[in-house]
Amino acid sequence: MQETTCCFFGHRTINETEDLKTKLTDSIEKLITYKNVDTFLFGSKSRFDSLCLELVTRIKEKYPHVKRIYVRAEFPFISDNYLAYLLKFYDDTYYPDKILGAGRASYVERNYEMVNNSKYCIAYYDETYTPTTRKSGTKITLDYAIKKGREIALFP
C-alpha cells in the first residue's frame, strides 16, 4: 500500500452536478494538502473516472507535482502511438500482470490492484445505479476497500 496514493472508482453513470464537482475538488485538494497525497490512480469505463481525471488535471495546475496514473484493465501490451496518446492525459500507465487471463473479471481485478496500492479511495456508489441482473463492480470494489481498511470518501 502506498501512503501517498489515492484511487478512484465508481459507476459508469452518475448524477453529475456542480455540487458534486465542488465536493470532489475539495476532497482531492485536502488529500494533497493535508495527507501529502501525490499519486492518483484511475481506471476507465465510467463517467466518475473521467470526471475525477478532469478535476485532478485542473488541480494539477496548482499542484504540478501530482501524478495521474492510468491502470489499464485491457491491452497488456500497447504500441508507442497508444502510449503517446494516453500520456496526453496521464503521467503514466501500466497493466497489472496479475490480471492477465482474468477475462470478464479484469475490471474488478484492476480495481483491487488500485485499492491494494492506495491508502485513500474516492468512490461514487449509489444503490439506484446498481444493476439488478449482475453484481455491481463498484459495490464489489467498495466492499473490498472497506475490508482492506482504506480511508474512503464516498459520494454522492
The 10s digit of each residue's pLDDT in 17-27 is 999 999 999 99
Task: Please tell me the predicted confidence (pLDDT) of residue 92.
Answer: 98
CATH class of 5-155: alpha beta
Task: Please tell me the predicted confidence (pLDDT) of residue 45.
Answer: 83
Does 156 sit behind a cis peptide bond, omega within 30 degrees of 0 on the bond before it? yes
Residue 132 has pLDDT above 80, yes or no: no
Lookup: cell for 79? 504500441
CA distance to 33, 39, 113, 122, 151, per residue, from 45 (Å): 29, 20, 16, 16, 23
Least confident of 1-5, 123-127, 128-132: 128-132
> Angle at which helices 47-60 and 18-35 pack, to 10 degrees?
50
Q: For 59-107, how does the pLDDT look when each residue is reduced to its tens digit (9 = 90+)?
A: 999 999 999 999 999 999 999 999 999 999 999 999 999 999 888 889 9
Other C-beta atoms closer than 10 Å to the C-beta of 119 total 19
Q: List the beta bridge partners of residue 93.
A: 70
For the chain, give every domain's residue range: 5-155
Mean pLDDT of 4-14: 95
